[in-house]
Amino acid sequence: MITLNFNKDEPLFLQLYNHIRNEIIFGNLKSGTPLPSKRNLSNHLGVSVNTVTSAYETLMDEGYIYSKERVGFFVADIDNLINIKKEEKNLISKKFLNYKYDFDLNKNSTFNFPNTNFKKLINESLSLENLLNTRDPKGLYELRNSIANYLLSARGIKTNPQSIIVSSGIEYLFQALFYILPKNSKFTLENPGYKNLLKLFDLNGFKYDFTDVDDYGINPSKIPKKFKYFFGYPISPISCRLNTSH
């Protein structure tokens, strides 16, 4: 039985997310168990469909559930999920957990947003002297640090800002890779994917092949072992999500 506390400061979608997540972790919801449709669950709980959608989307992003088109949502096999130790969460600064102003759209009315002050702060930030100075070629450190924190909290990936590179585009990054890697390097790419990238491979003389994506994303067992490098597209053209079983 799912119950939500409407008088609690915690957003309703987060309460729903935590409840379903805990049920999965503690084994009360087994792998393959179907979940209620978004509309049925919203009617049962007396909340909006958007609230249920946000909870389901977060659970799918973290690999706890998956969806089948025109069928519904199901509990995923979480045996392969990375269990982040509590001490590793210290990588995410605790000062961000308590916001003086909460920008969550589920809590604040947009018409109360202080647009005038916000524009003023943006102008002040843009006028800072360090913005005109030479920057780290890997990208703005503050941005890379935020990305590292997000990967840990949302994906269970433990990394650091030094391992992240921010560039002006994927073509630029691959052009840099082609200068570094040996000419006999072989890549395997997701199919379908980004066609313009293939032109770069052809122009630089690098060999590549394709690995098909199924309903659950790329299957690592199907990647040819003769290819040393694999490139996965951050956004799937067929709107599938990588399942934890893969």
Report the percentage of the chain scoring pLDDT > 90. Answer: 24
Residue 17 has a pLDDT of 93
The maximal CA–CA distance of the chain, rounded, in angstroms, is 62
Mean pLDDT of the chain: 80
For the beta carbon of residue 66, count every other beta carbon within 10 angstroms. 22
CATH class of 12-75: mainly alpha
Show me where the domains of the chain are located.
12-75, 115-163, 170-231
Taking only the tens place, the pLDDT of each residue in 36-82 is: 999 999 999 999 999 999 999 999 988 899 998 889 999 998 876 65
Check: CB of residue 59 under 8 Å from CB of residue 104. Answer: no
Q: What's phi and psi for 129, nearest 5 deg?
A: -65, -35
Taking only the tens place, the pLDDT of each residue in 77-116 is: 887 665 554 444 455 554 445 666 666 655 656 667 788 8
Check: CB of residue 229 under 8 Å from CB of residue 186. Answer: yes
pLDDT of 123 strictly over 70: yes
Residue 130 has a pLDDT of 61
Residue 145 has a pLDDT of 92
Q: What's phi and psi for 38, nearest 5 deg?
A: -60, -40
The DSSP-derived string for 19-47 is HHHHHHHTTSS-TTPEEPPHHHHHHHHT-
- What's the pTM? 0.47
Taking only the tens place, the pLDDT of each residue in 171-206 is: 888 888 888 898 888 888 887 777 778 888 888 888
Position with higher pLDDT, 29 vs 153: 29
Rounded Cα distance between 17 and 13, Å, is: 6
Question: What is the three-class DSSP state of 231?
Answer: strand
Residue 87 has a pLDDT of 47
pLDDT band, very low/low/confident/very high, at 144 (cuts 50, 70, 90)? very high
